[in-house]
Each structure stands twice: as C-alpha cells, then as structure tokens.
Amino acid sequence: MSDADPAFVGRTEVVAAAVELFHTQGFDQTSVDQIARAAGMSRSTFFRQYGGKEDVVFADHEGLLEELRAFLARPHDDPWAAVCEASVQVYQHFAADPELARRRYAVVRQIPALRDREIVTVFRYERLFDEYLRQALPGLDPLDAVGFSALVTAVHNHVLRRLIRGPKRVPVSVLTRALDDARRRFGVLPEASDPAPDDLVVAVFPRRTPSAEVARRLRDALSE
C-alpha cells in the first residue's frame, strides 16, 4: 500500500469523516450534505466521487483493490507468496487506524444493506486472488486457485476480526504466521532446509485426490 498516494489518502479521510458521523448520530440520521461538509467538499462532488451513503462506507476498499491489482500485475517469483503479501497490505491499512475499523464494523453490523455490501466486497478480494493465481500459474487446477484464495481471505478476515472486536492492537506478525500456515497446509511454503541428496520418497494416490491433499499427506508422512 502506498501511503503517499494522495487520491487514496483523500478517499480514506472521507471514509473516516462519514463513519464518524454514522457512529455518533446514526446512519439513517446522517445526510449526504452533512458528510460532504465534514469532508470539505460540495454535495455534487461527493456524489460524483463516492456515490451514496452506502458507497462511501467502503470507498477505501476501491482504492485498496486498485493498489492490489497494480501490485499483482508486477512480476513475482512466488505467486502464492504474492497473494499473501497482498492480504498483508490490506490488513496494514486497517491496522493503521484500528478505531476507524471498529467504528465502521459497528455501523455495518447495524444496517442489513451494509452487511450485504460487505459480503460482496470481501468476495471481490477473493476473486482478484483467484484470477491472479490462474493467470500467474498456467495449468493450475482451478479448485486449488479458488481454494487457496478463499483460505487466504478467510484467514485474513479472522485476524482482522480479532483486531476489530478486541481493545488491543493485533500485530501484522499474527497474520503473516497464519498465512505461512495456510501455505504450508497447501504445500506451497518453501522449506527452510533442503532435503539430503539421497532422500527418496515414493507415493501413490488416486487420480481424483486434490493436489493440496496430496501435499498434506506427504508432509504428514515425512514428519513422522
């Protein structure tokens, strides 16, 4: 995430202003005019840049998705690691201002339309990761691509909920360790040490066995 991007910083500030109003006086009781004034812009500019009240709650996600698309478009030696790094970038954005994240969470929980919008927003990240893996790893089983993308998204959301629901900061290291475990479970985390040159493993699996399950079984067998 590039903190120097003025457009993204500006979008985040508008989100913060809107969420503060929603938090203090209620979503339904807050008007677009009030949000525009708090953000220092005209009503017409607000509508042009952010749409309605429901849109502004998630406006910084649009910037995040743009940043991640640009990040994933660059060359990466390890696409699996790149997806995890993208997840970390998103987490760092919310962890930088946990109080804003908590206020937004409280607002979203109260409004059914916002809860539905949140589900769609989360899926957009998962779909971005899925599409990237399929493109970066030609021949990858689509089930592995969507499975890993869903796992990374779920792990990210679990750690983020710990940050939002608790009073303390949750360091990014908690997420990185969890993502390393996700890669290990999928068999795509490079081992710290190379096997001895005389190591030999022979295994037979049914053709229908998912590649991730093959990797898991091999890992478990080798650790015994």
Backbone angles phi, psi at 190, to 5 degrees: -60, 135
Is residue 15 situated within a structural domain?
yes
- What three-state secondary structure class fits 197? coil
pLDDT tens, 44-62?
988 888 888 888 999 889 8
pLDDT tens, 204-222?
766 766 777 677 677 777 6
| CB-based contact 153:122 (threshold 8 Å) | yes
Is residue 221 situated within a structural domain?
no
| pTM of model > 0.85 | no
| CA distances to 106, 156, 178, 210, 224 from 92, in Å | 20, 11, 15, 33, 37
Q: How far is Cα 137 from Cα 208, in angstroms, rounded to an integer?
A: 20
Check residue 192 and give its pLDDT.
56
pLDDT band at 75 (very low <50, low <70, confident <90, very high): very high
Half-sphere exposure (Cβ direction) of 120: Cα atoms closer than 13 Å: 10
Q: How far is Cα 83 from Cα 133, in angstroms, rounded to an integer?
A: 8
Task: For residue 98, give the CATH number of its domain.
Answer: 1.10.357.10
Is residue 205 situated within a structural domain?
no
Is residue 109 situated within a structural domain?
yes
Tell me: pLDDT of 182 over 50. Answer: yes
Q: How far is Cα 156 from Cα 86, in angstroms, rounded to an integer?
A: 10
Stretch 165-186: mean pLDDT:
93
